[in-house]
Structure 1
């Protein structure tokens, strides 16, 4: 089911390309007690430009800060941040160093460590609600600020290819929940696998 870990060069593409490429691959988090894995079913690209318009929906839009430093590293680094003061979101940094691009993993389909995911989410039984959102999947897979700025070619947090490739029908739409972005809220940079039940709700 889960194949080999992605090599570093796989991340050295622009965020929009990476956002599509991540679909169907696996997000893996290895902890002392559990190995978590989820099949990536929904992503959003951030950074760069669309039709010559810079992405004002990206954290990197205002430049490199202490918070956004991971986005300006070379592709293959994690970027984990806190939203609403309580939920973490995990991103895969894309492109060359200095580009300020990353891909938000919005939803995964649980594969390994499901029992621990249920405990982490305080859920009685498995359902699509377990990991069908960026905050939910981080809570389920025990991803916190401790996993910020990790080398995704390491052994703790990484992307793995599927053992066998299958044809996917990928749909796209504008990104969601970024109404603060004047231009970027219209960029069609959300990608997801058609008919997968774990895709987040709008």
Structure 2
């Protein structure tokens, strides 16, 4: 976590989203990011770290345990609704790929996003599926992908050692993507993604 935090801090982002947080890793991120991102909110295994004050922090119920949260980032350009989401993984079983849990999580996230009243919304997530995945259409039909609109290169994120697919993304509504790219590999099996946005 300490090394990952240093990579993320060097990205110079206003807001960071982290998933698969644990009781051991969360305090490390809080300590390592305190100087650059003094505001943070963690619910279950997902968290946001921000240069700007975070308010209205709430769980987004997409699974039986907490895998998504919503907060308002009070930026100098005004409030922005920010979501951190981690959809269920696609698993391989004797019956083939099992996607039902991921697909149900996507539908629940989509319902929360449809109900979102804020005019500017950013969703930072590990979607365990690509933007073109039909099962994610309830979410992606409402949002633009920063990578698809302004990305550099393929933007592949998984697996980190030799990325061949992009399952992590920055999705926006009411915000203009200016650039999107992947960050250097960390200890994670995913590459982090970044985007520059204009409000």
State the TM-score, normalized to the length of structure 1. 0.25
**Bigger relative contact order, structure 1 or 2 (CA pairs below 8 A, ≥6 apart):** 1
| TM-score, scaled to structure 2 | 0.25
